[in-house]
DNA sequence: TAATTCAGCGTACAAGTGTACACTAGTTTA
DNA sequence: TAAACTAGTGTACACTTGTACGCTGAATTA
């Protein structure tokens, strides 16, 4: 019952997803991809696409899920490094920037669809970012014994700042990237400092 | 030398710009607009479009400039209110949120093209946001006597946080919007607190 | 083994795209 | 007044798009 057929189908589905991911770039957004282009890249007849996805939107949502996975992988990577000691903020930001070098296009997908024209896409991206934020929030709360709301606000602001820096980083050379990293770290420290002060105030 | 012709041309150009702006919405991004659609909406034959813009990109860049103007108008509005007294942070955020109600589509344009596929667009949007940030930075620096870099980092983070909240605000109802406003204000206060602490540390 | 299912293909079509080109009519210039 | 200019028009063309439809051959089921 291995299912030769089901296996082959899964493989083709994967090819479609990879074809789409492969076509994403700085110059090419998901919404500018056509069904025919993706099918062609995957080595399929245009109409065969429908055996796997009812339309491009469905594929797009799958890609956003994929991006969410990648984001969690980033988290794990950062955690591992943090356990080995060093500045938490610095390690997190540096890990994120490194991550961008290999996953720029997936990150671009998230950035773009977050403000895209499809409500479903926007919701899906928001959800992924929300999970990401919550994990960070948990961490902050237990590490710094912060007031719950302050911890969430800090986490949210931190994610926003890092994502924005990430977007900028995609457009500049290595040298400027390093400076951007340095500044982002400073921003997160300012934020942390403020959160600590604010939390004890309340 | 009034130039009946030049005058008429300017008027038509304006019609094209307004037609494009009018077609922007939550469901419609600039990149999804076609030259023909815009021309039609402006009451022009498709080919007449070329008398005013060499292609859609040129029109798009014009719209981004327009958006920059609107952003500066927002600044002015906020300043006027601030002069009448009250919490600077609160007034700024509330003004921004009100602004969004009338200018949602222009703001969406900025958000989208900031991470869009055209380098020229991205650069243009970055520039507008940069000016916006610098103005805020000047204000922070002279109001709080902050270290120059800290002031800039704070201004940058503040803009990023407010823009992100603005993006979220576009998707929720009035009630949630109010809560979002409240949280954004808190975030800016946390940031300010941190900046103050950090500035005296350095 | 015979019948059924279904992933993938090829053809076909209507709709929409950007833009080249030649033309017109009113404005501007000489 | 005559000549030159030009904003706007209409036609035309080559492409690309999504997708409906019927077919095929191999995998699956009975």
Mean pLDDT of B11-23: 98
Question: Which positions ≥6 away from A107 have C-beta within 8 Å?
Answer: A67, A99, A100, A166, A170
Q: How far is the CA of A34 from the C1' of D15 (A)?
A: 14
Decide: CB of B32 under 7 A of nucleic strand C: no
pLDDT at residue B2, as a whole number = 67
- Asked if A76 CB < 7 A from strand D, the reply is no
Instruction: Look at residue B202 in the predicted model and tell me its pLDDT.
Output: 73
Q: Which nucleotide is nearest to B8 (CA to C1')?
A: D7
Residue with tokens 């206060």: B189
Closest nucleotide to A48 by C1' from CA:
C8
Taking the C-alpha atoms of residue A155 and residue A11, their distance in angstroms, rounded to an integer, is 38
Pseudo-torsion of CA A188, A192, A193, A195, nearest 10°?
Answer: 140
CB atoms near residue A140 (< 10 Å): 20
What share of chain B has pLDDT > 90, as a percent?
A: 93
C-alpha separations of A30 from A19, A37, A53, A64 in Å:
11, 11, 15, 11
Rounded, the Å distance between the CA of A60 and C1' of D27 is: 30
Please say if the pLDDT value at position B128 is more than 90: yes
Mean pLDDT value across residues B74-81:
93
CA distance A13 to chain B (A): 26
Q: In terms of Cα–Cα distance, which of A116, A121, A119 is closest to B116?
A: A116
The C-alpha atoms of residue B164 and residue B184 are separated, in whole angstroms, by 10
Q: How many inter-chain contacts (A to B, CB under 8 Å) are there? A: 109
| pLDDT tens per residue across span B162-200 | 999 999 999 999 999 999 999 999 999 999 999 999 998
Structure tokens at B89: 């942070």
- H-state helical runs in B1-87: 4-23, 35-41, 56-83
Shortest distance, CA A73 to any CA of chain B (angstroms): 23
Among all chains, which residue has been given the structure tokens 């950090």? Answer: B198
Q: Is the CB of A48 under 7 A from strand C?
A: yes
| Residue-by-residue pLDDT tens, chain A, 202 positions | 568 999 999 999 999 999 999 999 999 999 999 999 999 999 999 999 999 999 999 999 999 999 999 999 999 999 999 999 899 999 999 999 999 999 999 999 999 999 999 999 999 999 999 999 999 999 999 889 999 999 999 999 999 999 999 999 999 999 999 999 999 999 999 999 999 999 988 7
How far A4 CA lies from chain B's nearest CA (Å)?
40
A28 touches strand D (CB under 7 A): no
Q: Do A112 and B112 touch (CB under 8 A)?
A: yes
Question: Which of A116, A101, A105 is closest to A173 using CA atoms?
Answer: A101
Q: Which residue of B has its CA nearest to A184?
A: B153
Q: How far is B140 from chain A (nearest CA, A)?
A: 15
Of A29, A115, A157, the CB nearest to B111: A115
What pLDDT, on a 0 to 100 scale, did the predictor assign at position A202?
A: 73
Is residue B36's beta carbon less than 7 angstroms from any atom in nucleic acid strand D? no
pLDDT of residue B129: 96
Residue in this structure with the two tokens 């906020």, named with its chain if needed: B78
Q: Do A191 and B191 touch (CB under 8 A)?
A: yes
pLDDT higher than threshold 90 for residue B32: yes
List bases, strand D, within 7 Å of protein CB: 6-12, 16-22, 27-29
Over its C-alpha atoms, chain A yields an Rg (Å, rounded) of 20
């Amino acid at each position: 019952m291995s299912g030769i057929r089901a296996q082959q189908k899964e493989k083709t589905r994967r090819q479609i997803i990879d074809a789409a991911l492969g076509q994403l770039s700085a110059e090419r957004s998901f919404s500018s991809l056509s069904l025919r282009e993706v099918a062609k890249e995957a080595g399929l007849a245009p109409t065969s696409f429908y055996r796997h996805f009812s339309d491009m939107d469905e594929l797009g949502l799958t890609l956003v899920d994929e991006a969410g996975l990648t984001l969690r992988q980033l988290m794990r990577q950062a955690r591992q490094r943090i356990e080995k000691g060093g500045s938490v903020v610095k390690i997190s930001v540096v890990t994120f920037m490194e991550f961008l070098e290999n996953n720029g296009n997936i990150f671009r997908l998230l950035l773009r669809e977050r403000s895209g024209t499809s409500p479903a896409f926007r919701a899906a991206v928001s959800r992924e970012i929300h999970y990401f934020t919550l994990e960070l929030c948990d961490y902050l709360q237990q590490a710094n014994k912060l007031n719950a709301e302050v911890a969430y606000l800090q986490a949210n602001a931190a994610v926003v700042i890092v994502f924005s820096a990430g977007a900028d980083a995609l457009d500049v050379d290595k040298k400027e990237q390093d400076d951007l990293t340095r500044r982002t770290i400073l921003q997160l420290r300012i934020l942390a400092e403020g959160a600590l002060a604010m939390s004890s105030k309340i």
